[in-house]
A and B are shown apart, each in its own frame.
Chain A
Amino acid sequence: MPKIGVFVCWCGSNIAGTVDVEAVSEAMKTVPGVVFSTNYQYMCSAAGQKMIADAIHEYHLDGIVVASCSPRMHENTFRKTAQAAGLNPYMVEIANIREQCSWIHKDKEEGTRKAIVLAKAAVAKLLHNQPLQAGTSAVTKRCLVIGGGIAGIQTALDVANAGYEVDIVEQRPTIGGRMAQLDKTFPTLDCSACILTPKMVEAAQNEKIRIISYAKVEKVEGFVGNFRATIRKKARFIDENKCTGCSLCMQKCPSKKGRDEFNMEMNNRPAIYIPFAQAIPNVAVIDPEQCIKLKSGKCGLCEKVCSAGAINYQQKDELLEREYGAIVVATGFRPMDPSPLNELGYAENKDVITSLELERLMNAAGPTKGTLLRPSDLKHPREIVFIQCVGSRCDENTNRGKPYCSKICCMYTAKHAMLIRDKYPDTNVHVFYIDVRTPGKNFDEFYRRAVEQYGVDYIKGMVGKVAREGDKLMVRGSDLINNRQVEIAADLVVLATAIEPDPSARSIGTMLTASMDTNDFFTEAHAKLRPVESPTAGIFLSGVAQGPKDVPETVAQASAAASKVIGLLAKDHLVTNPCVALSDELLCNGCSQCEKVCPYGAITYENREVRGPGVREVRRVARVNPAVCQGCGACTVTCPSGAMDLKGFTNQQIMAEVDAICL
């Protein structure tokens, strides 16, 4: 029988407060196989680890059980301790008597009883453990960045500057994302395009970066260090290598009814277009829904005027297959559609607009060339009402919006209010708010300037109704500080709508098996300590895809994600997890169930000669690729004949644990 040592941790008072650790280590001494059992204040400390190493040597232990915190915390620590002491690291088992015992119990007697049971189960499992050897896999030294906004651009630049290849896959015809649509950025009020476009150019000029625009990632296979992605490059009906971006085609195009997405659909654009002047790539694209030639075969004007011969009406979607070592999700956000909030009248009134629409109305390249005119009659608005938290901070049960704070709205509303008061001092600006949240460097100073220097009228309270009366919008709300109802006859109403993840995020998350929260933001591997990594190995998070944030925060996170990518790509090999599935060919009946459930494509079927007692024949059997298998165990529970097993978590081991707990 193997010789087993048991080490019970107090974790200060975390465990010892609710579990009688002395009683646990005493009880374990009588368990068959256990030749040594002790307890100590902090097993993970250097002294605790030395205690383990000494016991391994002194008692010639074949395996150890550490009864302590969750294996997610210190399993690795103790495996290394055991390995250093000459033990196979997979001969270590953790009994989680903290998260699954002491923290959830109040009664010490009950907690102690359960801790003993959990430790016994770990011993029972360990008696069936086999030493395992980890293998290695190579790393493809290229990174895929999904999304070409400021987050994706920054991550790509940092990774490329460290010497690695990067592909940016952007769904729109140009990179730049939401930041390209902004007029000014808070709190310094510098022009957004002026600071973004140099970065876009830098990305385009960096020879390590390949920008694949107007494209989407369709399929991802493989695992950390060895991803294989299929990318669909949509037909833009333009030869990207020939188009010079002269925009003559745009002027001649007779179809002018396409909605200008870049200007939040507030004006029309031709069927052939370049989204904005500084677009990258600076190449036109044809909207097949609007193009007369593509719809009816007639026209062809753009082809005639294009001196570069770049127009190609026959162009088809193109599929690219590329290999990557790491994938960064930088899918960004969009503003929530406020139409369902009927009381605010967004759908009925042209002069009720969102903040992003206002950005375009104030931008020199926008539909009004930067003069603030309201959409309905192109008159100067003299009375403007801003409404904050539209769709943010909502009760989840009402289906009226998001439960979270969108974080950036207080600041951009203060920015808008200040810019309007600065440029049009004869215009009154009112802001309805629940709270003004301005934590951030120079943020509160900025907001106070809006109030104190620019005389913006901040009203604490929400708006109950926006209704048209003549050419005015009557805004009724409450003023909680003065305890009264207020009514403002406004010319323009601006809604600070919640931001929500880009709708592409959900399918990308599913494709990457990267977990998301209920709001479709990507979740981090650890909320505090691993904020830029997904729990899925090799997937990294950049920008608003992970949660609402402003530009500086996005850039910081993008660079942090890049540093994690660089750390991964710098390795030539990765140590693989030896706890992978293994199929017993004698038991396998060739049903293919395991192949269907495997999320990693690690199982294939092949005809092999099977030899056993009284058997010698060629059969169709499952085979696991240990380099691809992630050890999730889905196949083992699916296999109807019991042929599939998971090393380190064999059926025998699990049953031994269950028996130890239940019998």
Chain B
Amino acid sequence: MIYSYYPGCTLKDRARQLDLYARASAAALGLELKELTQWQCCGAVYPAASDDIASRLSAVRALMNTEEKKLVTMCSACHHVLKRTNFDWKQDATFRTRATNYLQPEVPYDGSVEVVHFLELLRDEIGFDELKKKVVNPLTGRKIGAFYGCLLLRPSKVLSFDDPENPTIMENFIRALGAEPVSYPYRNECCGAYVAMEDQKSAQTQVERALNSAVAAGCEELITACPLCMYNLVENATVHRLPVKYFTELLAEALGVKEA
């Protein structure tokens, strides 16, 4: 099956592994990710918090340029922005009209694209049971915690990704790869990335809380889907430290395509 794919700019630079391992894994699973021919930065969360139309136009443009029914995202922040913009497009007539007036497209966007995170694709299209069968290097014995962060889960009604208070999708993903998922209370908290520049101490407090909680629960490594969480969990760690990987790296490793 073919899916349109929106990598996002971080995945072309700092978070290159997130993208590379995703592509390799998708190929191994028989999923074709067709990158949009034209795309820009999603705007990274800030636009969704304001009523400014202009800063959300690039997200609309990405949706408009999507040829397939589903647009797959990899980065939590891009997913958050695209999914929310798409939701608003369907719900909010004023936004729709104003954005259309700005963009003056030849064919107006009809709101039919579905924004899907790669994890959702694995769960709903492949199925974790099927995924388990395709694993060639089971990650047996590894105790892995998922760090969800905030962007994938909330606002829960719009993202409708998983239970925002007790998510399980990444734990099920870890289990499918043969590793032992470790659940810990602070896995769905904000990592503090958005204040990291102006108030590093707050960010460090958030990170320490999460890492402390993960270590106490017995995590030996963490996975994330978010370049911001990745940066923060590594760079702003103070007392506790854990290796952090993108979930796609783990997937590629289990599918035996990490070195390819």
Contacts and interface: CB of A to CB of B under 8 A. Distances in A.
A54 interface: no
A467 B166 contact: no
B180 to A, nearest CB: 18
A345 B185 contact: yes
B165 A341 contact: yes
B213 A469 contact: yes
Interface of A: 341-343, 345, 465, 467-470, 474
B213 to A, nearest CB: 7
A402 B189 CA distance: 26
Contact residues of B: prevailing secondary structure: helix
Contacts of B213: 467, 469
Nearest to B217: A468
Given A465-B185, A468-B185, A343 B216 contact: no
A342 B165 contact: yes
Given A467-B213, A469-B213, A469-B216, A343 B165 contact: yes
Indicate the member of B163, B165, B212, B213 with the most A CB atoms within 10 Å.
Answer: B165
A342 B163 contact: yes
Task: Name, among B166, B185, B186, B213, the residue most crowded by chain A CB atoms within 10 Å (CB to CB).
Answer: B185
Contacts of A467: 185-186, 213
Interface string B181-223: 0000110010000000000000000000000110010000000
B208 to A, nearest CB: 12
Contacts of B212: 469
A470 B217 CA distance: 9
A468 B185 CA distance: 7
B148 to A, nearest CB: 13
A264 B165 CA distance: 26
A342 B165 CA distance: 5
A468 B186 CA distance: 10
B178 to A, nearest CB: 25
A467 B188 CA distance: 12
17 contacts: A341-B165, A342-B163, A342-B165, A342-B166, A343-B165, A465-B185, A465-B189, A467-B185, A467-B186, A467-B213, A468-B185, A469-B185, A469-B212, A469-B213, A469-B216, A470-B216, A474-B185
Contacts of B186: 467
A469 B186 CA distance: 10
Contacts of A468: 185
A162 to B, nearest CB: 53
A474 B166 CA distance: 16
A469 B189 CA distance: 15
Nearest to B156: A398
Contacts of B165: 341-343
B255 to A, nearest CB: 32
B126 to A, nearest CB: 27
Contacts of A342: 163, 165-166
Given A467-B185, A467-B186, 16 more contacts: A341-B165, A342-B163, A342-B165, A342-B166, A343-B165, A345-B185, A465-B185, A465-B189, A467-B213, A468-B185, A469-B185, A469-B212, A469-B213, A469-B216, A470-B216, A474-B185
A468 B189 CA distance: 15
B166 to A, nearest CB: 4
A469 B240 CA distance: 15
Contacts of A469: 185, 212-213, 216
Contacts of B166: 342
B25 to A, nearest CB: 30
Contacts of A465: 185, 189
B154 to A, nearest CB: 12
B105 to A, nearest CB: 34
Contacts of B185: 345, 465, 467-469, 474
Nearest to B216: A469
A537 B25 CA distance: 69
**List of 8 A-B pairs having minimum Cβ-Cβ separation, nearest first:** A467-B185, A342-B165, A342-B166, A343-B165, A342-B163, A467-B186, A469-B216, A468-B185
Contacts of A470: 216
A474 B165 CA distance: 15
Contacts of B216: 469-470
Nearest to B167: A342
A429 to B, nearest CB: 23
Nearest to A344: B165
A244 to B, nearest CB: 50
Nearest to A470: B216
Interface in B54-88: none
A343 B187 CA distance: 12
Interface string B105-133: 00000000000000000000000000000
A128 to B, nearest CB: 52
Specify which of A468, A469, A474 lies most central, judged by the most chain B CB atoms within 10 Å of its CB: A469
Contacts of B189: 465
Nearest to A465: B185
A157 B42 CA distance: 71
Nearest to B163: A342
A474 B184 CA distance: 13
B147 to A, nearest CB: 15
A345 B188 CA distance: 14
B199 to A, nearest CB: 14
Interface in B212-237: 212-213, 216
A623 B166 CA distance: 60
A465 B189 CA distance: 10
A343 B216 CA distance: 19
A621 to B, nearest CB: 58
A469 B211 CA distance: 12
A467 B214 CA distance: 12
A341 B163 CA distance: 10
A470 B166 CA distance: 20
B201 to A, nearest CB: 14
B206 to A, nearest CB: 11
Interface string B243-257: 000000000000000
Contacts of A474: 185
A343 B166 CA distance: 7
A465 B165 CA distance: 9
Nearest to B183: A348
A467 B189 CA distance: 12
A577 B212 CA distance: 74
A391 to B, nearest CB: 14
Nearest to A349: B185
B150 to A, nearest CB: 12
Interface string B158-186: 00000101100000000000000000011
A93 B5 CA distance: 71
Contacts of B163: 342
A470 B186 CA distance: 14
A431 to B, nearest CB: 22
A156 B17 CA distance: 74
A345 B163 CA distance: 14
A72 B99 CA distance: 54
B35 to A, nearest CB: 37
